[in-house]
Amino acid sequence: MWTTGTGEINIIENVNDVTNVKTTLHTLGQCNVPDSTAQAGETGTLTNTNCTYDPVTGKGDEGCGVFSTDDYSFGGKFNSINGGVYAMEWTSDWVKTWFFRRDAIPSDITAGNPIPSNWPLPYGNFAGDCDFDANFQNQRIILDNSFCGSWAKVDFENTCAATTGASSCAAYVGNNPQAFTDMYV
């Protein structure tokens, strides 16, 4: 699940058999976020502090991302606990993301009146040298299951090819439709 417009917020993303959800920001304008874990501002693991993407050179395509440390926040393990709730708070000062297992959803969410200030630390806390109002405008939400994009292709070759016996991500997907019967959007 992601939003796009001016800038992009990948709220829920990851590939293949990974079990930890990742949130990533991509901006065209300058945007840098410090490691909030060191500042006790998030529980996740930051992968990159520079969110800026240059479409001319292709530099910065990875964006700035944070992995949740909850091994049940994505993929098969997520399904095994009957899912949960992802939440995002986007303000002029930050973008924060949370994952709550189904048995730990805050009561204010289930009551339809979410109050993020009452929740525990987010796994992702993107704040810092970034004009969030300028970098994220006219967002629309997209729900999809993507197959074999550039990230999934590389990860497949590094981690899945040996266990599946398939020569590529596209070959595996094309020859194994039954492997995707439990995929949902």
Tokens standing for 123?
């796994």
Is position 13 annotated as part of the catalytic site?
yes
- Say how far apart CA 102 and CA 40 lie, in whole Å: 25
Q: Identify which of 178, 179, 150 has the alpha carbon closest to the alpha carbon of residue 13.
A: 150
- Summarised one tens digit per residue, pLDDT across range 4-25 is 999 999 999 988 778 899 999 9
Set 8, 42, 89, 157: catalytic member: 8
Q: How confident is the model at residue 185 (pLDDT cuts 50, 70, 90)?
A: low
Under CATH, which number does the domain 2-144 receive?
2.60.120.200
Confirm if 122 and 70 have CB atoms less than 8 A apart. Answer: no
**Cβ partners under 8 Å of residue 111, min gap 6:** none
- Say how far apart CA 79 and CA 99 lie, in whole Å: 14
The predicted structure's pLDDT at residue 147: 81
- Summarised one tens digit per residue, pLDDT across range 49-108 is 999 988 788 777 789 999 999 999 998 899 899 999 999 999 999 999 999 999 999 999
**CATH 2.60.120.200 segments of the chain:** 2-144
- Summarised one tens digit per residue, pLDDT across range 105-157 is 999 999 999 999 999 999 999 999 999 999 999 999 999 888 887 777 777 77
Confirm if 63 and 51 have CB atoms less than 8 A apart. Answer: yes
- Say how far apart CA 37 and CA 123 lie, in whole Å: 9
Is position 8 annotated as part of the catalytic site?
yes
> Looking at per-residue confidence, does 164 or 117 come out higher?
117
Confirm if 52 and 60 have CB atoms less than 8 A apart. Answer: yes
